[in-house]
């Protein structure tokens, strides 16, 4: 039982490049979330999903897209990376009944 | 708009001390409150979750209380150890999970 895993752990991009971050969970959770964490800002919700095939915007969705084609995977895409997207990205999941969220180890992204 | 504040931002204590971390929130209409621990360069580990109908939760040396009417929660750590050094985050759930900016705790031997 690996819990929530994220790929990759680190990435450096140049402005304008694109990439996809992968989140996978093996707990059969319905809900999945993408957050970014910036110094002094706390964690902020980017997008979330309440089930396979559904996604919704969070607090800071601009510049990001997501997809939930399989229940266990939640992908975060950056189509044209900007330096303002330099951050640590966390994925989380939770089951339908309880509200306790379980977090992945994070992806540290630097956009030059 | 829900806002979550944690005071102090940083705390340094000698080993063995009992300590209290504070969390306040502006809107009392929450479903629950969750305390997390984050080690440097790592993800978040859930410590305690208090449902809105509960007053406190305990796990080992940790005790978290919730006073919805005053918009406050405290995390009490008994007999602190160097291994407790980390950043502690609280988060409240209304329609989304809203995080505070954390308290960075250092426990020195």
Return the bridge partners of B100, or none.
Answer: none
The C-alpha atoms of residue A99 and residue A20 are separated, in whole angstroms, by 27
**pLDDT at A40 (0 to 100):** 80
pLDDT grade for A39, boundaries at 50, 70 and 90: confident
Nearest-CB residue to A102 (from B46, B93, B96) = B46
Mean pLDDT of chain A: 94
**pLDDT at A80 (0 to 100):** 96
A109 contacts in chain B (CB < 8 Å): none
Interface membership of A102 toward B (CB under 8 Å): yes
The C-alpha atoms of residue B31 and residue B98 are separated, in whole angstroms, by 12
Q: Cβ of B99 and A43 within 8 Å?
A: yes
**pLDDT at A45 (0 to 100):** 94
Q: Backbone phi, then psi, for A26, in 5-degree steps? A: -115, 25
pLDDT in tens, B65-97: 999 999 999 999 999 999 999 999 999 988 788
Q: Tell me: pLDDT of A47 over 80.
A: yes
In B, minimum Cα distance to A101 occurs at B46
Distances A55 to A27, B5, B25, B31 between C-alpha atoms, Å: 19, 29, 27, 22
Mean pLDDT, rounded, for B18-37: 94
pLDDT grade for A98, boundaries at 50, 70 and 90: confident
Inter-chain contacts counted by CB atoms under 8 A, chains A and B: 48
Question: Exposed, middle or buried, B22 (CB in 10 Å: 0-12/13-18/19+)?
Answer: middle
In chain A, the percentage of residues whose pLDDT exceeds 90 is: 88
Q: What's the token pair of residue A75?
A: 């992908």
B39 contacts in chain A (CB < 8 Å): none
């Amino acid at each position: 039982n690996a819990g929530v895993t994220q790929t990759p752990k680190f990435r450096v991009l140049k402005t304008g490049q694109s990439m996809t971050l992968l989140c996978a969970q093996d707990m059969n959770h319905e809900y999945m979330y993408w957050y970014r964490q910036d110094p002094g800002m706390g964690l902020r919700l980017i997008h979330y999903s309440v089930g396979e095939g559904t996604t919704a915007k969070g607090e800071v969705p601009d510049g990001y897209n997501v997809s939930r084609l399989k229940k266990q995977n939640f992908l975060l895409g950056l189509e044209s990376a900007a330096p303002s997207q330099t951050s640590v990205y966390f994925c989380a999941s939770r089951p339908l009944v309880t509200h306790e969220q379980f977090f992945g180890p994070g992806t540290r992204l630097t956009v030059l | 708009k829900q806002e979550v504040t944690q005071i102090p931002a940083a705390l340094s204590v000698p080993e063995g001390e009992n300590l209290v971390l504070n969390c306040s929130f502006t809107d009392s209409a929450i479903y629950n409150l969750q305390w997390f621990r984050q080690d440097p360069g790592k993800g978040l580990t859930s410590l305690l979750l208090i449902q809105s109908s509960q007053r406190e939760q305990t796990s080992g040396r940790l005790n978290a209380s919730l006073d919805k009417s005053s918009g406050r929660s405290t995390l009490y750590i008994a007999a602190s150890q160097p291994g407790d050094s980390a950043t502690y985050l609280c988060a409240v759930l209304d329609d989304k999970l809203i995080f505070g900016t954390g308290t960075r705790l250092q426990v020195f031997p």
